[in-house]
Chain A
């Protein structure tokens, strides 16, 4: 890759990485691991993204937001490609992303939780008071990627980012 292409790629990556998730605006698509990469071929920019859940309704808005962010950075006609493989996993959440989730009152996915367990799952830590004395209200929350919980200590309800 020549120098001009590499500079363009970095500029495009920086712009794309600044796009926030429309449903969790405290996190960028880079924090969430939705942004998979940026390549430049013959001066053409291609951004790859992957959906968290296949029915995620935010994908079309994220695509539009990336195009807008790139256009603002002077990059027109970028191609946005949706890739399915490898499938998105919460392991791709960056440490910064996990910290931002907790700050926003959303418990990051509990480490080591098995999504294969048919009935049991480790209790997440309350993002407000830090207690692990929490209970699940529903496995399906306000968005496809979150579940709903309640803290037995501070009595506050909270969302948890599902282990996926």
Chain B
């Protein structure tokens, strides 16, 4: 174990909870970077609100994982290394311009919304309860991203061009959303977690219909990136964590 890593006994369920929690925290952190810098005050509020929803969801999931692994929410968020983070690569991608952020939001929300809806039927009561909360919020996030992407794609030449660039840049990160590995198999079979592969159909349909309305062509199939779920991240995550964890690393246990 590298220095600075947190010792965690990762059974499949803990690992799964951490994957979801890390998605929510990393995306929430990214969105919070827009605070005070969004194109309009309304959009500033919107992105900050969505960030808050994500961080709230992350806290609930970390509490649930921590109850099983014997850690606090803060330990899981602040004291794991990048290799211990299990979020998908999509959510750690930098904000870029507004089009990049909106495309990232659309890709993620179009997955999260049907995913959490499916998770409401989990055989684990705790997961079903968390999902019922997340599902309601993800519907808003999806609508927000969809409305914006249509406005950008079907807007000016410049907004259309930027939306196309963002679409092409982030498309290779979408395949990872539907990945499952050996650790998931038993949990999926027991109905504890939904099969992410089953979300591909609703995702395709949502993203497809939004792209049509946005007059944006669907990017061609090509090489897809993956690795986040196993802790293999892009350089950007390390930088994000360095900023987020700095205080707890420098002053362990610091409190408000």
Which residues of A are interface residues toward B (Cβ below 8 A)?
51, 53-57, 84-89, 115-116, 118-119, 137-142, 144, 148, 162, 164
Contact of A140 among B49, B59, B130 (CB under 8 A): B49
A118 and B146 contacting across the interface, CB-CB below 8 Å: yes
12 contacts across the A-B interface (CB closer than 8 A): A53-B56, A54-B53, A55-B28, A56-B52, A57-B52, A84-B130, A86-B132, A118-B146, A119-B143, A139-B143, A140-B46, A144-B49
Interface size class of B (residues with CB under 8 A): 20 to 34
Query: How long is the Cα–Cα vector from A93 to B42 in the complex, in angstroms?
Result: 26
Interface residue B134 (Cβ < 8 Å from any Cβ of A): yes
B136 and A115 contacting across the interface, CB-CB below 8 Å: yes
The residues of A that contact B53 with a CB separation of less than 8 Å are 53-55, 144
B43 and A138 contacting across the interface, CB-CB below 8 Å: yes
Q: Interface residues of A: mostly helix, strand, loop or mixed?
A: loop
Interface residue B133 (Cβ < 8 Å from any Cβ of A): yes
B56 and A51 contacting across the interface, CB-CB below 8 Å: yes
B143 and A118 contacting across the interface, CB-CB below 8 Å: yes
B133 and A87 contacting across the interface, CB-CB below 8 Å: yes
A85 and B56 contacting across the interface, CB-CB below 8 Å: no
Query: How long is the Cα–Cα vector from A150 to B48 in the complex, in angstroms?
Result: 21
The residues of A that contact B45 with a CB separation of less than 8 Å are 138, 140-142, 148
The residues of B that contact A84 with a CB separation of less than 8 Å are 60, 129-130, 132-133
Q: How far is the CB of A87 from chain B (nearest CB, A)?
A: 4
Contact of B50 among A86, A115, A140, A148 (CB under 8 A): A140
The residues of A that contact B42 with a CB separation of less than 8 Å are 137-138, 140, 148
Query: How long is the Cα–Cα vector from A57 to B28 in the complex, in angstroms?
Result: 14
